[in-house]
Every structure is written in structure tokens, then in C-alpha cells.
């Protein structure tokens, strides 16, 4: 951790990432194979449609879907998925999105699947039609959405069903797909953070999903700005037509037919809604290289590495006075996460905040600080960094305990004994 970083040049502190594949601190460690492919791709030019067509073939093989596309993150893939479901092959609608005046634009989604990421659907012009209730979350009942509610909400205006996959979600994805397909409506799945395991690359398609969005920069460890969209050939064709740069002279426009099928169009599409979601040749090459390396990886070895690191983190912090820890394998994250409980009032946010304001910054998971907990995720740490994180937490928890006890100053660790949780 003492080596010079490029960030030093700008006076920006490095981050030690103990919270997993979070975009706001850089996502994941890109694979060396991807970096090498990106450097190689940077040396020369390629027609992007050719490279996307090759990527489409490979993604189809890997996912079992008819076709695929390399997108600008999973979120970019969701914009394109919605755009494809709204516009299909219609040149006029493609050119007008996100204006959907006069065309169907509704995506049916359970209330419990609404997240900040569905702004991506709305960016393409979709209106979200919510179904179900929040009873399970609020504890006012045991249910969220019923199969019949999907069927009830699907109508003339529906272009897709939206589904954010979590292993504990109900009803099962296969059932949702069956209902949607009975009504001739495609299902878009947000599976951004659902790999590994590699088997999940094809699982969603097997359940019947028509378009599936994965992050390229999370568990796959490709370039951070990439994503994968896998799905029906006609929908991926619409995606390509709306994403590729279309400042082409019609007389010589000859994109790969299996991806764009220019012959079936009355003319060259305009720059589409997806044009700002650019994916460069370097990112495309990097994602494809990362995908191969991801598929070749020994999954059992990686799972064991994450498990061992989680145990190491857990044992390390649990040894500190005032902290307890347990390893959570419930599936909220694809990796086991350590849930650390801070005993004593109000010190969790203080501790998490202090960790973040050090140099290097130490980021731990802060989603449940209001409950007196924070999380440690092994995915983006080396063992050396994990030890450093434990050392910083143990050291700071002593300081925080001292402050809470009104003793002030920097704690030595010894005088923290007996003061934590005492007030
Ligand atoms: C991370 C994430 C996204 C966004 O993925 P990007 O590749 O960063 O665009 C979307 N949905 C969910 C559920 C995610 O976890």
C-alpha cells in the first residue's frame, strides 16, 4: 500500500475497498487480461459494428440467448432494453425517443422492484406501471406482488415487464416470464450484480427472460464502464440500431447484417437514444477478454478465497472491544459479507465516517449504519488490504469509544476497555 499511485499526481487519496463492487469508488479491480486487451485495441481502429457483432456471437454462446451486445454499464443496457421494447424496428419512433407520444411505452414492474436504477428505463421514455404492494417490507403482511397482478396490469400500452433479480424475490422469474409471454410482452431483467456464479450468465435466459442486463465491471471484472445485454435477436437488433453511431452515408452503409440488418430498413436510422451511451473499441475488447478470463476462473477456488477472507475479517474485528461480527451468506451479495455490530450508541456513523476520511480512505458498507451495523465485503480486497482494514477499524473503534466516554484524545486501546457501550 506504499506504492505511488496515479491518483497521487492529483492529490486524490486512494481508497481501500471493503464494501464490494460499488461504482462510486471504482467498482472492481479490472483483470490484467482486460487491461492488456484494451491497450492492444487502443493501437488500431476497427468498425464498431463488426466488433459488436463478434461480441454478440460470443455473448449468445455464453448466455444461451439469441444475441448480445456490449453496453455502457448494466444501467446503459437498461436504457437500451427499454428503447428496444418501445421502438422495435420503427425508424420514426427510434428517432423520436424519449418522446413516446402516440406509442405504447409502459413497463410493468412490482413496487418492490423499484430502485434508483429504473431511471434508466424512464430515460428511454418508458412509463413505469407499478403492481403489488410493499406489505412485506413494512411488515404489514407477507406478500408483495401476485402473479395475477401482472396479468391485470398488462394491456395495450405495455411494452415490457421489468424485473430486478434477487434470489429471494417472488414470484419466481420463470412464472413472471410465462405470464408476460402469454400476453406477448417481453421481460427485461436487471441482473447487474448477479454474477458470479458463471452459471447465472445463462440462468436468466433459461427462465425465459427476453433481455438480461449484467454489469461488466462488477463480478466479471471487465472495464468498469461496460455491461452485457443478452437477449432476443430482434430486440438486440433494435438496440444496435439505436446505439451505434449512425452518421453514415447511406450509399455505402453496410453494417454486419446479423446485428443490424440494414436491408430490412427503409433508410439509415438517425442517431438514437443510445448514441450518448458510447462503448469504445477498448472497452469492447476489454470486456470480451475479461469475460473469457472470468469463465476460465476456478469458481470453487474463488469462493473459498472470499470465504477465507470474510472469516479473517470477521475474526479480526471481533477481537476488538466493542465490536461483534458474523459472516452473512444469505445472498444479498454474491460474496459472503461480514456484518459488524458496534456496541454503544451512535458510534457507528462516526466510525464509518472516520474510516472514510483517512488517507487512504477505507470504505466499508454503510447501508445499515442506522441499525448500528456496517459490512465488510471481501470481493475487492487483497489479504494485505483486509489486514489493514482490520487494523484501522480496531484502532479507530478505540478512539471512538474514548470520545463517547468523554475521555477525549487518541485512544491507546487499553483505556477503551470497559467504556464501550457503557453510556
Ligand atoms: C450496479 C447495479 C446496476 C448498475 O450497473 P452498472 O454496470 O454500474 O451500470 C443496476 N442495477 C443493479 C441492481 C445494480 O446492482
The domain that holds 125 is classified in CATH as 3.40.640.10
Q: pLDDT: is 350 or 405 the higher one?
A: 350
For residues 41 and 13, membership in a common domain is answered with: no
Q: Which region holds residue 212: left if phi is over 0, alpha if psi is between -120 and 50, else beta?
A: beta
For residues 260 and 367, membership in a common domain is answered with: no
Q: Which of 182, 136, 142, 145 is nearest to 163 (CA)?
A: 145
Q: Does position 423 have pLDDT exceeding 50, yes or no?
A: no
For residues 399 and 359, membership in a common domain is answered with: yes
> Does residue 1 lie within any of the structural domains?
no
For residues 217 and 108, membership in a common domain is answered with: yes
Q: What is the model's pLDDT at position 401?
A: 64
For residues 13 and 52, membership in a common domain is answered with: no
For residues 265 and 356, membership in a common domain is answered with: no
Q: What are phi and psi of 164, to 5 degrees?
A: -100, 115
pLDDT band at 363 (very low <50, low <70, confident <90, very high): very high
Query: Considering 296, 328, 357, which residue would you say is the last residue of a domain?
Result: 296
Ligand 1 mean position to 26 CA, how many Å?
13
pLDDT band at 169 (very low <50, low <70, confident <90, very high): confident
Joined together, the cell numbers standing for residue 80 give 437500451
* CA dist., res. 134 & res. 150, Å (int): 15
> Does residue 74 lie within any of the structural domains?
yes
CA angle 199, 25, 3 (to 5 degrees): 105
For residues 139 and 252, membership in a common domain is answered with: yes
Residue 225 CA, closest ligand 1 atom number: 7
Of 204-213, 303-312, 314-323, least confident by mean pLDDT is 314-323
The residue nearest atom 8 of ligand 1, judged by CA position, is 73
Q: How far is CA 314 from CA 196, 328, 414, in A?
A: 22, 10, 21
pLDDT band at 421 (very low <50, low <70, confident <90, very high): very low
The residue nearest atom 1 of ligand 1, judged by CA position, is 192
CA 383 from chain centre, in angstroms, equals 24
* CA dist., res. 252 & res. 241, Å (int): 16
Residue 190 CA, closest ligand 1 atom number: 11
pLDDT tens for 76-99 read 999 999 999 999 999 999 999 999
* CA dist., res. 179 & res. 165, Å (int): 17
User: Any residues with Cβ below 6 Å from ligand 1, and which?
Assistant: 23, 73-75, 117, 164, 190, 192-193, 215, 217, 227
| Rounded (10°) CA dihedral 19, 22, 24, 26 | 100
Q: What is the model's pLDDT at position 220?
A: 98
Q: What is the model's pLDDT at position 34?
A: 98
Of 136-150, 203-217, 287-301, 341-355, least confident by mean pLDDT is 341-355
3-class state of residue 81 by DSSP: helix
For residues 321 and 271, membership in a common domain is answered with: no
* 69 close to 214: Cβ distance less than 8 angstroms: no
Residue 215 CA, closest ligand 1 atom number: 7
For residues 201 and 98, membership in a common domain is answered with: yes
Q: What is the model's pLDDT at position 167?
A: 84
pLDDT tens for 120-148 read 999 999 999 999 999 988 999 888 999 99
Residues of the chain above pLDDT 70, percent: 93
Positive or negative, the CA dihedral 367, 307, 362, 347 is: positive
> Does residue 66 lie within any of the structural domains?
yes
Joined together, the cell numbers standing for residue 286 give 476489454
Q: Does position 112 have pLDDT exceeding 60, yes or no?
A: yes
pLDDT tens for 22-79 read 999 999 999 999 999 999 999 999 999 999 999 999 999 999 999 999 999 999 999 9
Q: Which of 98, 69, 74 is nearest to 86 (CA)?
A: 98
All residues at 6 or more sequence positions from 354 whose CB lies less than 8 Å from its CB, including other chains: 396, 399, 400
Residues of the chain above pLDDT 90, percent: 85
Helical residues (DSSP H) of 107-184, grouped into ranges? 119-123, 135-138, 147-153, 173-182
pLDDT band at 412 (very low <50, low <70, confident <90, very high): very low
Q: What is the model's pLDDT at position 411?
A: 38
Q: Does position 419 have pLDDT exceeding 80, yes or no?
A: no
> Does residue 365 lie within any of the structural domains?
yes
pLDDT tens for 141-165 read 888 999 999 999 999 999 999 999 9
Q: What is the model's pLDDT at position 333?
A: 82
The domain that holds 10 is classified in CATH as 3.90.1150.180
For residues 321 and 281, membership in a common domain is answered with: no
* CA dist., res. 57 & res. 69, Å (int): 9
Query: Environment class of residue 183 by beta-carbon count within 10 Å: exposed (0-12), middle (13-18) or buried (19+)?
Result: middle
Q: pLDDT: is 302 or 409 the higher one?
A: 302
pLDDT band at 343 (very low <50, low <70, confident <90, very high): confident
Joined together, the cell numbers standing for residue 163 give 424485473
Quote the number of domains for the chain.
2
Joined together, the cell numbers standing for residue 145 give 406482488
Q: pLDDT: is 103 or 4 the higher one?
A: 103
Query: Considering 278, 296, 314, which residue would you say is the last residue of a domain?
Result: 296
Ligand 1 mean position to 354 CA, how many Å?
27
Q: What is the DSSP string of 390-404?
A: HHHHHHHHHHHHHHH
> Does residue 201 lie within any of the structural domains?
yes
Q: pLDDT: is 361 or 143 the higher one?
A: 361
Stated pTM of the model: 0.92
For residues 61 and 14, membership in a common domain is answered with: no
What's the mean per-residue pLDDT of the chain? 92
Q: What is the model's pLDDT at position 320?
A: 87
> Does residue 330 lie within any of the structural domains?
yes
Q: What is the model's pLDDT at position 403?
A: 66
Q: Does position 232 have pLDDT exceeding 60, yes or no?
A: yes
> Does residue 101 lie within any of the structural domains?
yes
Among 80, 117, 224, 332, the mutation site with the greatest number of ligand 1 atoms within 8 A of its Cβ is: 117
For residues 130 and 262, membership in a common domain is answered with: yes
Residue 227 CA, closest ligand 1 atom number: 7
Joined together, the cell numbers standing for residue 121 give 428505463
Q: Does position 262 have pLDDT exceeding 80, yes or no?
A: yes
All residues at 6 or more sequence positions from 178 whose CB lies less than 8 Å from its CB, including other chains: 208
Q: What is the model's pLDDT at position 336?
A: 95
Q: What is the model's pLDDT at position 405?
A: 62
* CA dist., res. 402 & res. 319, Å (int): 17
- Would you mind telling me the total number of residues written for the chain in this entry? 423
Range of the domain at 366: 6-22+299-420
> Does residue 246 lie within any of the structural domains?
yes
Query: Considering 235, 261, 296, which residue would you say is the last residue of a domain?
Result: 296
Ligand 1 mean position to 216 CA, how many Å?
10
3-class state of residue 326 by DSSP: strand
Q: What average pLDDT does range 318-338 have in this prediction? A: 90
Amino acid at each position: 500500500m506504499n506504492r505511488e499511485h496515479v491518483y497521487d499526481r492529483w492529490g486524490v487519496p486512494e481508497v481501500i475497498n471493503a464494501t464490494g463492487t460499488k461504482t462510486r469508488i471504482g467498482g472492481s479491480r479490472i483483470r490484467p487480461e482486460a487491461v492488456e486487451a484494451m491497450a492492444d485495441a487502443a493501437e488500431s481502429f476497427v468498425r464498431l459494428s463488426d466488433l459488436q457483432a463478434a461480441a454478440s456471437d460470443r455473448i449468445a454462446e455464453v448466455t444461451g440467448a439469441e444475441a448480445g451486445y456490449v453496453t455502457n454499464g448494466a444501467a446503459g443496457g437498461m436504457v437500451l432494453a427499454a428503447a428496444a421494447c418501445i421502438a422495435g424496428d420503427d425508424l420514426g419512433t427510434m428517432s423520436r425517443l424519449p418522446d413516446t407520444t402516440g406509442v405504447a411505452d409502459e413497463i410493468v414492474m412490482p413496487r418492490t422492484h423499484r430502485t434508483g436504477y429504473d431511471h434508466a428505463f424512464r430515460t428511454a421514455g418508458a412509463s413505469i406501471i407499478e403492481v403489488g404492494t410493499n406489505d412485506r417490507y413494512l411488515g404489514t403482511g407477507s406478500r408483495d406482488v401476485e402473479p395475477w397482478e401482472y396479468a391485470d396490469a398488462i394491456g395495450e400500452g405495455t411494452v415490457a415487464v421489468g424485473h430486478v433479480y434477487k434470489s429471494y424475490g417472488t414470484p419466481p422469474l420463470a412464472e413472471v416470464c410465462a405470464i408476460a409471454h402469454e400476453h406477448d410482452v417481453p421481460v427485461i431483467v436487471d441482473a447487474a450484480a448477479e454474477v458470479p456464479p458463471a452459471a447465472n450468465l445463462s440462468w436468466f435466459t433459461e427462465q425465459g427472460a427476453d433481455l438480461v442486463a449484467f454489469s461488466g465491471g462488477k463480478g466479471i471484472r471487465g472495464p468498469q464502464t461496460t455491461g452485457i445485454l443478452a437477449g432476443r435477436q430482434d430486440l438486440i437488433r433494435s438496440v444496435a440500431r439505436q446505439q451505434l453511431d449512425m452518421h453514415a452515408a447511406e450509399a455505402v452503409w453496410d453494417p454486419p447484417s446479423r446485428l443490424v440488418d440494414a436491408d430490412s430498413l427503409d433508410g439509415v436510422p438517425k442517431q438514437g437514444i443510445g448514441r450518448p451511451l458510447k462503448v469504445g473499441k477498448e472497452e469492447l475488447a476489454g470486456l470480451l477478454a475479461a469475460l473469457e478470463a472470468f469463465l476460465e476462473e476456478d469458481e470453487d477456488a474463488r469462493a473459498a478465497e472470499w470465504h477465507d477472507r470474510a472469516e479473517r475479517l470477521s475474526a479480526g474485528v471481533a477481537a476488538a472491544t466493542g465490536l461483534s461480527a458474523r459472516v452473512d451468506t444469505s445472498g444479498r451479495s454474491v460474496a459472503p459479507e461480514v456484518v459488524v455490530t458496534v456496541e454503544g450508541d451512535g458510534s457507528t456513523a462516526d466510525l464509518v465516517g472516520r474510516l472514510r476520511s483517512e488517507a487512504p480512505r477505507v470504505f466499508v458498507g454503510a447501508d445499515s449504519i442506522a441499525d448500528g451495523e456496517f459490512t465488510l465485503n471481501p470481493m475487492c480486497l487483497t489479504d494485505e488490504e483486509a489486514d489493514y482494514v482490520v487494523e484501522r477499524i480496531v484502532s479507530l473503534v478505540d478512539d471512538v469509544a474514548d470520545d463517547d466516554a468523554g475521555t477525549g484524545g487518541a485512544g491507546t486501546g487499553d483505556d477503551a476497555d470497559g467504556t464501550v457501550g457503557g453510556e
